[in-house]
Amino acid sequence: MRLKNVKGASEKIESSKYIVKDYLNCKGKYKELFNNDNPIYIEIGMGKGTFIINNAISNPNINYIGIEKYDSVIVRAVEKLENEDIPNLRLIRFDATDIDKIFDKEIDLIYLNFSDPWPKERHANRRLASIRFLKRYEKIFKEKNRIIMKTDNRKLFEFSLISLVEFGYKINSISLNLHQDDVSNNIETEYEKKFSNLGYPIYFIDVEK
């Protein structure tokens, strides 16, 4: 994603009711923050937020937290939310490399949508389904671990599939062309819309452990 400096981004982020500002102090306390016992689903690398916002609107009995590392990107989600009232949604501006510093055995599902592919081999451990990240996710899942991933990048998909299965995940469902196989109740991400419009197949996997 190309990054631009967005004027006033940090002020907008700071003043949004959706942004969790004291995230280090919220570790292990999301049940209290949402004030209910509902499952918590997170999206790592949520970009401009279309997917997580639409999920939160469609599923009020699930709590959603979007995580994005750049101000200039998360601010676009904050802008979309300016006139919305979605109690089951929060956003965190954070680099998920340290995800286990902000959650503690309270997450039910992780979405990895169109994650950065990091194509160079020497950067393989920056991929969000690398063993390095999977080990950190172990510390934040509540009971069952569940990861759902979508991507247009076949190499990233193959790498992630091998990594997940080697780490003990079992496949619930898989598609090498999601939009051809099943589009019912699929909520699209920004990148998904862009790449499927260009005719690229969307790879999908839902795994559990």
Ligand X SMILES: C[S@@+](CC[C@H](N)C(=O)[O-])C[C@H]1O[C@@H](n2cnc3c(N)ncnc32)[C@H](O)[C@@H]1O
Q: Are 165 and 132 in contact (CB under 8 A)?
A: no
Looking at 11, 95, 158, 182, which residue binds ligand X (CB under 6 A)?
95
Separation between Cα atoms, residue 198 and residue 89, nearest integer Å: 31
Which of 26, 154, 134, 136 has the alpha carbon at shortest distance from 90? Answer: 26
Separation between Cα atoms, residue 91 and residue 21, nearest integer Å: 9
Looking at 19, 46, 65, 89, which residue binds ligand X (CB under 6 A)?
46
150: phi then psi, degrees, rounded to nearest 5: -130, 140
Q: Residues 116, 152, 182, 206: which is the catalytic one?
A: 116
Q: Which amino acid is at 74?
A: I
Looking at 27, 69, 132, 209, which residue binds ligand X (CB under 6 A)?
69
In the residue annotation, 116 being an active-site residue is answered as: yes
Looking at 63, 68, 157, 195, which residue binds ligand X (CB under 6 A)?
68
Q: Which of residues 104-123 bind ligand X (CB under 6 A)?
A: 113-116
Answer yes or no whether residue 190 interacts with ligand X by CB under 6 A. Answer: yes
Where do contacts with ligand X occur on this chain (CB under 6 A)? 1, 44-47, 67-70, 73, 95-97, 113-116, 189-192
